[in-house]
Amino acid sequence: MNVLQKLITMIRGSARELGEAVVDSQALRITEQEIIDAKSQLEDAKGSLAQVVAKRMAEERNVNELNKQKIEYETHALSAVEQNNEALALEVAAKVGDLEVQLGQKTSVVNQYTDQANRLKNQIETAEKNIAEYQRELDMVSTTASVQKATAQVTSEINSQQSALSSARESLERIKEKQQQHDDLQEAKKEVDASLKKADLDTQLKEAGIKVDSHSAGSVLERIKQQAKDAE
């Protein structure tokens, strides 16, 4: 395969992938339109079924009317026979025979319309089931697509906000640290004030001779002398 053929093959492959991508991206809309078209065709089929049933009903009325006429002329034929009017009875019998021929033809037409109506009805019922199934699948796919889109949007928003959240968290940590430093400083000031007050009090006690510094040179010397004296 030469370079030109490879390029042509690559272009054809890319075109096919692009076409599939376009179809896939519009799959829900295409399927929805197909269902709409199928429902429209189904309504047309129901209209055709109604016409067939109407024609059958008309032919059934004809059959009923022919039956009435047949019964009526059969009665007339019996009356002619009872009157020994053979010629009239034969003529009426011929009329009954003609009615029977018409009745057979009309009955055949009624049966044809009945069969056609039953076939159309079965086809319509099957089509309705298929359309309902496709509609359910479309609803499920549409719902899944909506959920996935919403999830992707939320995920995208969360990801885009991560830096802002991190910055806010860092700011909170700095605020908490400064607050802790402030608390520590206040506590240290209290300790310093207490220590200074205690030192000032000790000084006043020492100056008054009430409190003796046990670690002063005089105190230490007196303690050593007492220890030596106790040892004798």
Question: CA geometry: angle at 224 spanning 219 and 228, to 5°?
Answer: 150
Amino acid sitting at position 198: K
User: Same domain for 193 and 165?
Assistant: no
User: Same domain for 153 and 66?
Assistant: yes
User: Same domain for 219 and 112?
Assistant: no
User: Same domain for 88 and 20?
Assistant: yes
User: Same domain for 114 and 31?
Assistant: yes
Domain closes at, from 171, 202, 217:
171
User: Same domain for 28 and 66?
Assistant: yes
Domain closes at, from 155, 171, 187:
171
User: Same domain for 202 and 225?
Assistant: yes
Structure confidence by residue, pLDDT tens digits, 145-193: 778 877 877 776 666 666 656 666 777 788 888 888 888 788 877 777 6
**Range of lowest pLDDT (41-45, 129-133, 197-201):** 197-201
User: Same domain for 85 and 108?
Assistant: yes
Amino acid sitting at position 53: V
Fill in the DSSP letter of residue 208: T
- Count the domains in the chain: 2
Q: Which domain holds residue 141?
A: 3-171
Residue 103 has pLDDT above 50, yes or no: yes
pTM equals 0.53
User: Same domain for 135 and 202?
Assistant: no
139-145: average pLDDT? 82
Distance from C-alpha of 147 to C-alpha of 139, rounded to nearest angstrom: 12
Q: Which of 74, 73, 60 is nearest to 103 (CA)?
A: 60
Structure confidence by residue, pLDDT tens digits, 37-60: 888 888 888 899 999 999 999 999
User: Same domain for 108 and 155?
Assistant: yes
